[in-house]
Amino acid sequence: MADSDIAALFETGALTSARDLDHDQIQPASLDLRLGEKAYRVRASFMPGPDTPVAKKLERLKLHEIDLREGAVLETGCVYIVPLLEGLSLPAELSASANPKSSTGRLDIFTRVITDNAQEFDKVPAGYNGPLYLEVSPRTFPIVARTGSRLSQIRFRKGTAHINEAELAALHAAETLVASAVPNISNGGIALSIDLSGGENGLIGYRGKHHTSVVDVDKRAQHDVLDFWEPIYDRGHRELVLDPDEFYILVSQEAVHVPPLYAAEMTPFDPLVGEFRVHYAGFFDPGFGNVSAGGKGSRAVLEVRSHEVPFILEHGQIVGRLIYEHMLKRPKALYGSDLGSHYQAQGLKLSKHFR
């Protein structure tokens, strides 16, 4: 659904909020979700399961209650459940899904939306009526968050929106979805590969440091890069060894384009390409890298974490796939020039919190 339709959901009561919306809360094809007044530290992540409200599980599992109204530190390695300011009363034909915002992913904050009676994270079944909760677990940096902080986003769908491989090939031929002469289209998506060439200055990415100070999720350009990140340079090998449980910011080799009548999502983990997770803030709004507006595409910044064993990434290796889906209508405001979006025309770029 586009921005105008999302705004209409508030008018009909399908979307509710405990306070007025922020002026920029509705994005071209999604709605930013805001933290409520309390966070609950819990022993472990959990799934409510059928016929079980989240609040009932919280009563048994919570260890500590934290007031977010004036801001609070959420520590690495801990799991928090936060009731959100927004709630839902969806009509029978409307479902929703959620994922972390780009800046959330680039800070390595693991988030998942939970509904009452949920059997899947980040999925809201058609016709759902109830509150929304966010599981928050900072992985690399401790963070400061507060009531109204926006770590996750939700989008709404009617029916099945994904386009098939034949449609994807035709769309690429017409619109150049990724800057590749011979695109790899399979498994319902179009492949992206990793850029480890280093360019003119040799910089290929960043690795998150341990034992840093806190990052305030609501403040831009507040932190020095080198206090939180170790730059990684190519030394002529055009490869990178991913150490287990380290967090990396890398970039795709191809520029990405999402036409105005489409949205895209990157598969967060593909076991066919290696034992690592890539890009878990994986939603691309209509207009991302908009070629028709004079752009040349924007490369996808990738949040990468290896699992269990060291893994060697090589330049040009496929690291994930973009899945495209139809929009019901063109958004009023497109990602990029219409919104002054922080990550349009990006190359290798850290989150907006760093100067």
Residues 126-170: pLDDT tens digits? 999 999 999 999 999 999 999 999 999 999 999 888 999 999 999
pTM: 0.93
Residues contacting residue 255 through CB under 8 Å, at least 6 positions apart: 178, 179, 289, 296, 297, 298, 299
- Tokens 């530290």 belong to which residue? 41
* H or E element at residue 60: helix 54-61
Residues 58-70: pLDDT tens digits? 999 999 999 999 9
Q: Is 185 in the same domain as 153?
A: no
Q: Name the H helices within 77-160.
A: 102-106
The rounded radius of gyration (Å) of the Cα atoms in the chain is 20
pLDDT at 103 over 60: yes
Q: Is 87 in the same domain as 214?
A: no
**Least reliable range by pLDDT among 106-115, 287-296, 315-324:** 287-296
Q: Is 170 in the same domain as 83?
A: no
Q: Is 152 in the same domain as 175?
A: no
Closest residue by Cα to residue 282 from 299, 267, 297? 267
Q: Is 179 in the same domain as 311?
A: yes
Q: Are 151 and 134 in contact (CB under 8 A)?
A: yes
Question: For strand 94-100 and strand 150-158, is the pairing parallel, antiparallel, or unpaired?
Answer: antiparallel
* H or E element at residue 265: strand 262-266
Residues contacting residue 343 through CB under 8 Å, at least 6 positions apart: 102, 298, 301, 349
Q: Is 314 in the same domain as 171?
A: yes
Residues contacting residue 269 through CB under 8 Å, at least 6 positions apart: 276, 277, 278, 280
Residues contacting residue 259 through CB under 8 Å, at least 6 positions apart: 171, 175, 177, 286, 290, 292
- The predicted model gives 268-280 an average pLDDT of 62
Q: Are 349 and 301 in contact (CB under 8 A)?
A: yes
- The predicted model gives 300-306 an average pLDDT of 89
Facing residues of 185 across strands? Answer: 190
pLDDT at 341 over 60: no
pLDDT for residue 187: 85
CA dist., res. 321 & res. 193, Å (int): 9
Check residues 215 and 293 and name the one with the higher pLDDT. Answer: 215
> Which structural domain, as residue segments, surrounds residue 82?
3-158
Q: Is residue 48 part of a domain?
A: yes
CA dist., res. 277 & res. 231, Å (int): 20
pLDDT for residue 206: 97
CA dist., res. 320 & res. 333, Å (int): 28
pLDDT for residue 332: 93
**Least reliable range by pLDDT among 25-34, 58-67, 81-90, 194-203:** 194-203
CATH, residue 297: 2.70.40.10
Q: Between the CA atoms of 282, 285, 287 and 291, what dihedral angle is there, to the nearest 10 degrees?
A: 10
Q: For the chain, what's the residue count?
A: 355
Q: End-to-end distance of the chain based on CA atoms, in angstroms?
A: 34
Q: Are 318 and 328 in contact (CB under 8 A)?
A: no
pLDDT for residue 335: 80
Per the structure, the count of domains in the chain is: 2
Please give the share of the chain, as a percent, with pLDDT higher than 70. 92
Residues contacting residue 174 through CB under 8 Å, at least 6 positions apart: none
CA atoms within 13 A on the CB side of 55: 6
Q: How confident is the model at residue 350 (pLDDT cuts 50, 70, 90)?
A: very high
Q: Is 172 in the same domain as 133?
A: no
Q: Is 319 in the same domain as 173?
A: yes
Q: How confident is the model at residue 278 (pLDDT cuts 50, 70, 90)?
A: confident
Q: Is 143 in the same domain as 231?
A: no
pLDDT for residue 70: 97
Q: How confident is the model at residue 9 (pLDDT cuts 50, 70, 90)?
A: very high
